[in-house]
Structure 1
Amino acid sequence: MALHLETPLLESRPLSLASGRSVWLKMDALQPPGSFKIRGIGAACEHHARSGKRRFVSSSGGNAGIAVAYAGRRLSIPVSVFVPQTTTERAKSLIRQEGAEVFVHGASWQEANERALEAVDAETAFIHPFDDPLLWAGHATMIDEVVRAGITFDAVVLSVGGGGLLAGVSEGLDRNGLQNVPIIAVETEGAASLVASVKAGKLTELPAITSIATSLGARKVAERAFEITRNRPVDCVVVDDRVAVDACMRFLDDHRVLVEPACGAALAVAYAHADRLARFERVLMIACGGATATLTQLQAWQAS
């Protein structure tokens, strides 16, 4: 049995009214570890378990680490997650809650990732948080579920951090004959590494992440994510942190589900940037979730 759940698909009356078109939500915020990450990470962990690996190592400041830890507990395989110093106490406690070891190393994810790679041996599988074809194939299942439900849509809105969700949705569209459906890829100011690459015409690394949406905090997206912008219709949208946080708070009121600003960035397109949806009639929005934000933290950001 897969480690992820088939999540609800809801027509959102509040987001439809806010944007002036039909908005359908794929509610991956309701996955057991709190985000869509378990789809791809669960698939990768199952693959490596079948291959005889006896330990999982990952690097993540949040949701990917929680997903690896959850998968390891379900598969009875020990997990070590390397996180940067910027990782919140809540994120670390959620990883430990699943029974995994947490190692803090370096100022950024890149440094934690380098240390994680050093911990890999012949019996260990390294689980990358976003840049792995095994992950993309797993994430693609969310599109399979929408198509199976018989819902048609003429655009997909999603958040971009490292680009794993973008790569997975792209694969899901392709394998369901929907390669011409545009993807609206949303980032926050200060974490917009995909937009930087698109503007430069080549894969580009940001000097630093300055957004509060730390789940979108990859200074450079996966090469596959950049390739997708060149091979299929992708609209890039950048929203500011405050708009992303406001979207989280409105979504909490509208749907009784708390998501983090990395997810709020995508939702903000319906709430605050509906002009970017003007040419579409029925939009699929990925409510990707995120377990590391709390209501208190969102309220503090909103007040600052």
Structure 2
Amino acid sequence: MTLHFETPLMESRALSALGDQSVWLKLDALQPCGSFKIRGIGHACAVHQSRGAQRFVSSSGGNAGLAVAYAGRRLGMPVVVVVPETTTARAKELLRLEGAEVVVHGSSWQEANQFAQTLLGATDAFVHPFDDPLLWHGHATLIDEVAHARFKPDAVVLSVGGGGLLSGVVEGLQRNRWHDVPVLAVETEGAASFHAALAAGHPVELPCISSVATSLGAKRVCEQALHCAREHPVHSLVVSDYSALAACERFLADHRILVEPACGAALSVAYDRHPALAGYSKILVIVCGGATATIDQIRTWAAQAGRA
């Protein structure tokens, strides 16, 4: 069973009109449960079920948890999602709406993840939010759809959190023989674990996540993300929270779609005409989505970031 949809690929006239480049959008914000996560997580859950799993366990207070909960409901499987204490009431409400059992534990995702491991029984499958080849294989379908549409971009812009989307997109580019299409991997200041790993030459753990883009809030990026950067042209960009939040508001006005600051990070590169875009004629931005932010929350964050 395929749990994700083929999402629209469209040119953004609003973004293209800002310069002399054609900016195209892959609208994965329109996926069930609001983000690209269902591509890889849906694939992983279907594989685990075929192998005999009788329950899914995950650790995420955000989009990954929602994707596991959605997949479990569609596949008729019980789901337990362990979330940290910082998880918003809205996120917990969305998880329960999908039928998941929500367990609150710890002050960070790392603590929630450790506790989730203790819940695993012999017939349970653990679904990691980003570090699993099954997820990368599923996320790669995003590029398959772009290739099927016969649109080859000069560069792909995406947001990086734990590195799952980056790993999947690079897998998709490689298997479609688009080895010459670079990836611009965007993070916000205070959540730039991929940028830090590239600088160090190996994954490093950030002391804390200080960005409002909590969906990018993996203190340590997966090893596969660094492997992708060694095997494919990947360029790391870091933007401010304010730029990401402003992009969310502009995108809502331009395209009537609300996304999280994590997605706004990638969009801000196009809205702000980042120098890294110079030399590319056709740019593809992955609109990865996000379901837990509200416009009021985004505006409150933006006001705070503007005063900082």
Q: Residue by residue, what CA displacement relative to the aligned partner does 1:144-172 show, whole Å, maximum 9, x if unpaired?
A: 00000111211100000000000000000
Query: Does the 8 Å CA contact 1:19/1:271 hold for their aligned counterparts?
Result: no
Q: Distance in 2 between matches of 1:195 and 1:253?
A: 30
Aligned to 1:252: 252
Let me know the Cα RMSD of the aligned residues: 0.8
Superposition pairs of residues 35-50 of structure 1, within 5 angstroms:
35-50=35-50
Give the Å deviation of 1:39.
0.2
Deviations 1:91-144 (A, max 9, x none): 111111100011111111111001111111110000000000000000000100
| Identity percentage of aligned residues | 64
**Are the equivalent residues in 2 in contact too, given 1:82–1:116 (CA < 8 A)?**
yes
Q: Secondary structure at the match of 1:14?
A: helix
Aligned to 1:83: 83
Shift of 1:85: 1.0
| 2:8 equivalent to 1:2 | no
Task: Report the counterpart of residue 93 of structure 1 in structure 2.
Answer: 93
Write the distance in 1 (CA, Å) between the matches of 2:292 and 2:19. 28
Q: CA 1:56–1:245 in 2, change beyond 3 Å: closer, same or farther?
A: same
Q: Which residue number in structure 1 is paired with residue 231 of structure 2?
A: 231
Give the TM-score normalised by structure 1: 0.98
User: Shift of the alpha carbon at 1:228?
Assistant: 1.3
Whole-angstrom distance in 2 between the partners of 1:189 and 1:159: 12
What CA distance in whole angstroms lies between the structure 2 residues aligned with 1:89 and 1:43? 28
Residue of structure 1 in register with 2:270 after alignment: 270
Pairs within 5 Å for 1:47-126: 47-126=47-126
Provide the residue aligned with 1:280 in structure 2: 280
Q: Secondary structure at the match of 2:81?
A: strand
Question: SS of the residue aligned with 2:32?
Answer: coil
> Residue 147 in 1 paired to residue 156 in 2?
no
**Aligned-pair distance for 1:72?**
0.2
**Offset of 1:179 from its aligned partner?**
1.8
- Measure the CA separation in 2 of the matches of 1:161 and 1:48: 24
Secondary structure in 2 aligned to 1:18? coil
Aligned to 2:138: 138
Runs of 4+ in 1 over 6 A off after TM superposition: none
Unaligned runs of at least 5 residues, structure 1: none
Q: CA deviation at 1:19?
A: 4.2
For 1:186, the aligned partner's letter is V
SS for the counterpart of 2:156 is strand
What is the alpha-carbon distance in structure 2 between the residues aligned to residue 88 and residue 294 of structure 1? 11
Q: What SS is found at the alignment partner of 1:80? A: strand
| Alpha-carbon distance between aligned partners in 1 of 2:83 and 2:254, rounded to the nearest angstrom | 33
1:293 Cα shift?
0.5
